[in-house]
Structure 1
């Protein structure tokens, strides 16, 4: 591949990553709830790796989705995350996660009102965060998100096994990373 083509692939990748981040910021600033498909497309664009061999593209797409959705889930449910980042700090940012999208698509007016309050005040009280977390549980959004995380984990394992069959080599490093990220 010529240096010009590599540069163009790299620039295209940067453009796609910025577009993904732009969607996230646009939705947050304008209080627009994306669909689950739009959300996944945003993750895909934000984690796009332009120089990855095409046969690995699906694997890295799955890993990007897994990591983002897992991170959003852990930020609301993991005591380790809460100890390092604070209690439900992701809610203060106002970004839409799969958890919020799932609840908001059910038409939860309480969460909608709390998110509007965050937009006005710039943050949420601990009590408001507790209410959102409770509503996510009631709406089944925590369980739904965990099921998506587990499904993605299994798909990544299948992709990794297929890669190992193709290369006829065990990739202990990727298995270790995958094991470390398991929820």
Structure 2
């Protein structure tokens, strides 16, 4: 029922949350409407559960998610450190955004090491976040880095589990933690 409320563009945006669906859009054989529907339904299910199975709040959250994905150009984020990013058919504007994002994320990762490495017994990718080494940060850089890494972890979980796992494990390593190096609360 929630899927029927979404526009065609919103359905595609929700389906693109699936890393395997996103990759399939670059294949010679494009994903069909059925594959799009399944990928979108998985994302809808996640939101429905997160919103305590409340229809109206789930619908609103889904629309917010679509806007967030468009506004932060998650598709561009996924290509940041890909060697073969030219296969993704980015526009000139997206290439410019990609170059800007690459600098921002690289600078932020120099201030706080974060890495997706390994899996738990349920094939959930593990994202390790180590203590920050510098306080100063741009809100956009901080946000993009968090989005980039959580998307990488979710993609790893999805690929390793063949679509059965949509969760990740985040490990916060507090060795050498200094509160003075924490980013501002506004981020």
Would you call these one fold, judging by a TM-score over 0.5? no
Larger Rg: 1
Q: TM-score, normalised by structure 1?
A: 0.27
User: Greater share of helix residues, 1 or 2?
Assistant: 1
Greater relative contact order (CA < 8 Å, ≥ 6 in sequence): 1
